[in-house]
Amino acid sequence: MWRARVLGSFLLLMDLDGTMWDHKNVTDLTPPFKRVSETKVVDSRGVEVNLYPEALKILLWARSSGAYISSLSWNDPEKALGVL
């Protein structure tokens, strides 16, 4: 098993569309968003976005490990955060 020792804080940069979820452009979605399961969100028109469980695990691990987390996405920030 691969193990890394992290000294101090670190920065995690992640893309969103196609990396955090299966949708290719959440800026096209229409709020409000409704979470229907731990990994699925639906917009007001019924469009589904499925979050990738592995990506969520990485985010949760990074947050619990003291990381600074930022997105490398051009999406509308309010819509992207709504999906997360």
For residue 39, give the CATH number of its domain.
3.40.50.1000
Which two structure tokens, joined as six digits, stand for 74?
């051009």
The rounded distance, in Å, linking the Cα atoms of 34 and 45 is 11
Please check whether residue 16 lies inside any domain of the structure.
yes
Domain span at residue 57 reads 11-83
d(CA 59, CA 81): 13
Query: Does residue 73 fall inside a structural domain?
Result: yes
Would 55 be classed as within a structural domain? yes
What total number of domains does the chain contain? Answer: 1
Is residue 6 a part of any domain in this protein? no
Global pTM exceeds 0.85: no
Token reading at 3? 């193990």
Q: Is residue 43 part of a domain?
A: yes
Q: Is residue 49 part of a domain?
A: yes
Residue 3 lies in a domain: no
In the 8-state DSSP scheme, what is residue 51? B
Q: Computed from CA positions of residues 18, 24, 27, 32, in that sequence, does the dihedral angle turn out positive or negative?
A: negative
- Digit-by-digit pLDDT tens for the chain (84 residues) are 455 555 578 999 999 999 999 999 999 999 999 999 999 999 999 999 999 999 999 999 999 999 999 999 999 999 999 999
Domain membership of residue 33 (yes or no) is yes
